[in-house]
Structure 1
Amino acid sequence: MRDQAGDNRFIAYITANKWMAAAIGFIILLRFSFIGIMGAMPQDAYYYFYGQHFALSYFDHPPAIAWILRGFTDLFGRHVFVIKLADTLVTIGTLLAFYRLSRCFLPRKRAWNGFLLLYATLMITILSLVSTPDVPLLLFWSLSLLAVYRAVFEGRKAYWIWAGIAMGLAFDSKYTAIFLPAGAVLYLLLSRQHRHYLWSPWFFASILLFCITILPVVLWNVQNDFASFRFQSSGRVGGVEFHPLDVFGVIGHQAAILLPVLFFALLYYVYKLVRKYGWHVSHIPASQLFLLCFFIPIFGIFLVISPVYWVKINWMMPAYITGIIWISTWITVKYVRWQWICAVVVHLALAVEVIFYPVPIHSDDTMIGWSGLSEGVKALADEYPDDFIFSADDYKTSAMLNLYLGRMVYSRNVLGENALQFDFIGTDVNTLKGKNALFINSLTDVNDEVDELEFAEEDLAPYFRSVRPLPPIVVHQHGRVVRKFLVFRCMDYQPPLPGHDPRHVEK
């Protein structure tokens, strides 16, 4: 009864401002309609591909998103809307966990404001509609913080057990979750009031359960020469270059996913925090310090490294769970309204782009054109039924064709190059020796095919007796060309020389 009364008050709170209520209704409707309208993104297809080759973990990332997609598609079928429905339902879980967490720190109306700030963001739209490891990460991140709060601030010892399990599941989602136990230890070190938990048996039990829960990831890495750990650590160092202006790019894309009102409010309150407390961390109230220990390290580290390493749009997402709760202490409904004004403008623009595609995206990171490609390749496969099919970009074209065709489509490993997860599914390209192949090459710019033609001539030739072009697959939308894919028939495949393991070849 109390929960129902709270729900009614929340609805009354929203509908008190009819414009904001309409905006919220519009974005809810838009997000759910996108489940059926949007085509698959390459990330959807790649993590679906993970799940179709079930394993303890995977090369690029831990297994949680793959396991979720495998479960949903086994139950409801291999459909794009099923994949997006899975993302949406998990993200709804994240929102509910976020609200429960915010109520630990905020009175009801402030918690509502925090919830509305988060729900308006492009970040939630992305999480709801694009399969990435961040989808389960943010759910288990929020649940972990809720459990740690109950254990530390309320003294409920059993919650240390749940905290260890939830943190482990977050790590099974994405390696960024290492900031969870690190943040908990940081808070306990800085908090005189709660420091005694550092030598509590319940704290050690939590760490033990964390270690047990992440065993699938550890075992997979042990079995595969620590390939994933190396890729996500030393493998990343190769991308270090000094580009001081990149910090503005990071600020720009973070302002885009959070929307400017929320992002610059975060920066403003961080500035006020530094002005007020400086290095006197012990003066920060315990509840604020807890929230900051899971916000400032991630946000600060990625912002600091951005001039020397390109920080991706999703890397800071976990930080915003506690960051938003922290600033909701002071954010009034006036700024929530402005957040929703920005949200409507941004989501209207997104809807126009999804439906009419007025602004071409010169990248394979798009939902446009892939179903048209699959229809063209399906026709070619019927014409050349004994040919195997492959592509040689990072993973995108091969993964998309795997999803849409429901058959094995090979990747760069055919050419003896590093092929990410395609190298770890037990494929032996030597079994393809002597076969003919269809090579599909995606053009990121439909008007520029010079480089891709050169690639076909130079990089395919060593592995085939002959390579000849076939008519390209051209995808039209609203009377114009939106995607173009080059097609080559490659005769008599000769695999890389014995001992040439693509997993150890630099790209």
Structure 2
Amino acid sequence: MNAGSHEETPPHAPDELATEKLCAWASWRNTLLLALIIFIIRLIYSFISPYELVGDEAQYWDWSRHLSWSYFTKGPGVAWTIFASTEIFGNAVWAIRLPTLIAFIIIMLSAARLATHISNGDERPGFFAACLIALCPPLFAAGQLMTIDEPFFACWILAALISYHAFYRLKHDQSATLLWMLVAFILGVGFLYKYTVLLILPGLILFAIIYRKTLKLNQPRNLITMIPAFAIFLITISPVFIWNYQNDWPTVKHLVGHLGIEGGDVKITQENQWKPIQLLGPLEMVVVQILLISPPIIALIVISYRQAQKHKSTNPHQWLGVIYLIYCATPVLVFYFCVGFLKKVQPNWPLAGFLTLIPLAALYGPIGLGKFSLAIQTWKDNNKQGKRPHTPWQVGWHWAIGWGSVAALLIILAPYAQYFPNGENFPGMHRATGFQNDAALIQTQRNTLLNQTGTPPIIIADHYQKTARLAFYLPDHPAVFCAQAYFGARKTDYDRFADTNLNNPDLLGKNAVLMGGSAERWRNAFNFKSIKIVVENPADLSQQIFIAYDYQGPKKPLPTH
């Protein structure tokens, strides 16, 4: 399970004898070069990209201005990361997104090393694994935005890679204490980004139990080496639990609310209440994942698995690695398959499971392409008689390149649709573009009120994402207030931050610029002397803007749920 002199060298399978010298260009050196080129291109694009900060990105940036041990819906990892980047490079969109570009490269290289080690040190599957990561549409898309997903994915695949090394060392009577401690720290960091990282643990534990004799985990001394790792993991994730304990467990309430169960952070209604069984939910999840990952990559996973199974007696080292990859992937996929019976599974939720299946897809690459190259050469030597030859893996590979390349172009070019007639109505366009114009309208009203009264007004939006985007795109990055909890929706961190708390008595008597909703809704939730609409949009109430005078606080206290 290690490259170099420590690799086990099994007898070659018949297919490998003819192809082991082909695809020599698929080396670790070229893998690094590919990763560097992709990083540079995406970094340059981040400077000129028409993608504005989407709502979650802006929220995490605003969190980074209010550093905390944790937050209502997420751990502190994403806020701390953005804080580190913007402290160095400033509050620019590219600086906010820089960590996700780095995370994408970590994912590529970790997948490459994992495939290489499972292939007995052969660097060629590693190259194909890195390519397939780059060609996987949802992973490429996640690498465009600074959300929790890409750093979480990086922690997941990095933990899988180092755990594989640790198992190898135990198998060969070598100490793995430091490696397990590193795995524990990485999983702890991943937990600070997204709690789903815990779902890799059942796979690791089950693999260790079932193959305990092979891995020599039935020896007590090897189990004892994991105790320091467990302590490091608990210490790393402790900020989330300490903060939740101090704040009456809001994260738990948020997760319960997501399931539509009483005791969560949302009021249960007929629309959002827990529904016992949705029979088509799991099927929908499977279909969406296949289309999202891309059918060609799914086909490559199946092809490589079948080939590894075919040669498991001649290459047991690789077969054990294939089993390991599947064990890492299965818990998260099964978990969200089951969740599908209860509620709609969002497309990004199960994606982590494919991070170890993509290296599996790459394992047969050198043989599949090698056999194709030999067949093509023979076909040419025979004056191209008969049909052009193909191999299953080669066909899947070429389709993966086409599918992934088209998807990447669509992801990159999608925001430019706004410049075409009715382009602003392109699906999802309002989430990624156009908000700078909204901020400019708000700024105009701020200036109007300032000129009228001599006092800068406060700004209140009806939704947390709108609140965060205004805070970023207004010229002075002001504190913007969020009213959604007073409209009956769930609480947000804006309700607890000192400078965005609408119950602050220092706000009394101030004028305000309001964004979103209707005048009636604002009047029902807050005490103002008067409210006047200044930007009317009956077709989309979320875009309406109001000026309000003499703020006297909320009419009702926040709900306790």
In the superposition, the TM-score normalised over structure 1's length comes to 0.81
Amino acid at match of 1:471: V
For 2:467, give the aligned amino acid. Answer: S
- Residues 172, 409 of structure 1: CA spacing in aligned structure 2 closer, same or farther, 3 A cutoff? same
The secondary structure found in structure 2 opposite 1:179 is helix
Equivalent residue, structure 1, for 2:72: 59
The CA distance in 1 between the partners of 2:310 and 2:508, in whole Å, is: 67
Q: 1:150 aligns to what? A: 165
Q: CA deviation at 1:246?
A: 4.0
Deviates more, 1:262-271 or 1:249-258: 262-271
> Which residue of structure 1 lines up, in the alignment, with residue 45 of structure 2?
33
Letter in 2 for 1:250: M
Task: Identify the residue that residue 501 of structure 2 maps to in structure 1.
Answer: 428
Cα separation, 1, equivalents of 2:84 and 2:307: 46
Deviations 1:421-467 (A, max 9, x none): 222323432222333221111xxxxxxxxxx44xx323533413432
- Cα distance, 1:484 vs. partner? 7.8
CA distance in 2: counterparts of 1:222 and 1:434, whole angstroms: 36
CA gap of 1:224–1:324, structure 2 versus 1, over 3 A, is same
Partner of 1:254: 289
- Corresponding residue to 1:196 among 218, 221, 234: 218
> Are residue 159 (structure 1) and residue 229 (structure 2) matched?
no
Equivalent in the alignment of 2:16: none
Residue 81 of structure 1, CA deviation = 1.7
Q: CA deviation at 1:10?
A: 8.2
Aligned partner of 1:318 in structure 2 is 352
2:39–2:101 contact (8 Å) kept in structure 1: no
8 A contact 1:254–1:263 mirrored in 2: no
Q: Which amino acid aligns with 2:491?
A: A
Corresponding residue of 2:11: none
Letter in 2 for 1:468: K
For structure 2, the 5+ residue unaligned runs are: 5-21, 28-32, 262-271, 313-317, 370-393, 451-455
Q: Deviations over 1:283-331 (max 9, x none)?
A: x943222211210111122123224311112111221111112233335
Give me the whole-angstrom Cα distance separating, in 1, the residues matched to 2:179 and 2:543: 53
Q: Over aligned residue pairs, what C-alpha RMSD do you find?
A: 3.7
Once the two structures are superposed, residues 99-130 of structure 1 have per-residue CA deviations (whole angstroms, 9 ceiling, x without a partner) of 22222212322222222111111223223211
Do 2:527 and 2:555's aligned partners in 1 also have CA atoms closer than 8 Å?
A: no
Structure 1 residue 143, shift from structure 2 partner = 2.0
Q: 1:53 to 1:267 in 2, by over 3 A?
A: farther
Unmatched runs of 5 consecutive residues or more in structure 1: 4-8, 15-20, 278-283, 442-451, 475-480
CA gap 1:365/1:226 in 2 versus in 1, 3 angstroms: farther
Deviation at 1:29, TM superposition (A): 3.9
The answer for the alignment partner of 2:245 in structure 1 is: 222
| 1:457/1:402 CA distance change after superposition, 3 Å | same
Q: Deviations over 1:475-495 (max 9, x none)?
A: xxxxxx999821012233333
Shift of 1:265: 4.4
Segment of structure 1 superposing worse, 291-300 or 413-422: 413-422
CA distance in 2, matches of 1:482, 1:352: 26
Q: Does 1:407 align with 2:511?
A: no
3-state DSSP of counterpart to 2:494: helix
Whichever of the two has the greater Rg, that structure is: 2
Please give the secondary structure, in 1, of the residue aligned with 2:447. helix
User: For residue 387 of structure 1, what is the amino acid of its counterpart?
Assistant: P
Change (3 A) 1:365 1:59: farther
Q: Does 1:397 align with 2:469?
A: no
Per the TM alignment, residue 365 of structure 1 is displaced from its structure 2 partner at its CA by 6.3
Kept in 1: contact 2:307–2:364 (CA 8 A): no
Amino acid at match of 2:435: W
SS of aligned partner of 1:225: coil
Asked if structure 2 preserves the Cα contact closer than 8 Å seen for 1:368 and 1:482, the reply is no
SS, match of residue 97 in structure 1: helix
Secondary structure in structure 1 of the residue aligned to 2:431 = coil
Q: 2:343 aligns with which of 309, 329, 337?
A: 309
User: CA separation in 2, counterparts of 1:137 and 1:98?
Assistant: 14
Distance 1:483 1:338 in 2: 44
| 1:173 maps to which of 193, 198, 202 | 193
Match of 2:400 in 1: 339
Question: Could you tell me how far 1:11 is from its partner in structure 2?
Answer: 8.9
Distance 1:224 1:344, change over 3 A: same
Of stretches 417-426 and 61-70 in structure 1, the one that deviates more from structure 2 is 417-426
CA distance in 2, matches of 1:28, 1:346: 19
Separation in structure 2 between the aligned mates of residue 289 and residue 170 of structure 1, nearest angstrom: 23
Tell whether the 8 Å contact from 2:467 to 2:480 is kept in structure 1 after alignment: yes
Distance 1:382 1:252, change over 3 A: farther
CA distance in 1, matches of 2:306, 2:551: 61
Name the structure 1 match of 2:83: 70
- The AA in structure 1 aligned to 2:508 is K
Q: TM-score, normalised by structure 2?
A: 0.74
- The alpha-carbon distance between structure 1 residues 266 and 230, as it changes in their structure 2 partners (threshold 3 A), is farther
Alignment partner of 1:356 is 2:423? no
Q: How far, CA to CA, are the matches of 2:347 and 2:44 in structure 1?
A: 23
The reply on whether 1:105 has 2:118 as its aligned counterpart is yes
* Aligned residue runs from structure 1 range 277-316, under 5 A: 285-316=319-350
> 1-side partners of 2:469 and 2:24: how far apart?
41
- Structure 2 letter corresponding to 1:368: T
Pair 1:249–1:391, CA change in 2 (3 A): farther
Deviations 1:11-44 (A, max 9, x none): 9349xxxxxx99x989984674255312211121
CA contact (8 A) 1:467 1:491 kept: yes
Q: Which moved more, 1:105-114 or 1:169-178?
A: 105-114
SS at match of 2:78: helix
Q: CA deviation at 1:364?
A: 7.8
Distance 1:67 1:375, change over 3 A: same
Are the aligned partners of 1:389 and 1:410 in contact in 2 as well (CA < 8 Å)?
yes
Secondary structure at the aligned position of 2:459 is classed as strand
The Cα shift of 1:243 comes to 4.0
TM superposition shift of 1:89: 1.8
Given the superposition, is the C-alpha separation of residues 410 and 266 from structure 1 closer, same or farther in structure 2, using an over 3 Å criterion? farther
| Alpha-carbon contact 1:415-1:460 (below 8 Å) kept | no
Between the aligned residues of both structures, percent identity stands at 19
Identify the residue that residue 127 of structure 1 maps to in structure 2. Answer: 142
Whole-Å Cα distance in 2 between the matches of residues 267 and 302 of structure 1?
21
User: Which residue matches 1:464?
Assistant: 527
SS of residue in 2 equivalent to 1:294: helix
Distance of 1:260 and 1:413 partners within structure 2: 42
1:275 to 1:109, Cα distance in 2 relative to 1, 3 A: closer
413 and 388 in structure 1: CA distance in 2 versus 1, 3 angstrom threshold = farther
Equivalent-residue separation in structure 1 for 2:417 and 2:42 (angstroms): 15
Displacement of 1:182 in angstroms is 2.7
CA contact (8 A) 1:167 1:181 kept: no
Deviating more after overlay: 82-91 vs 190-199: 190-199
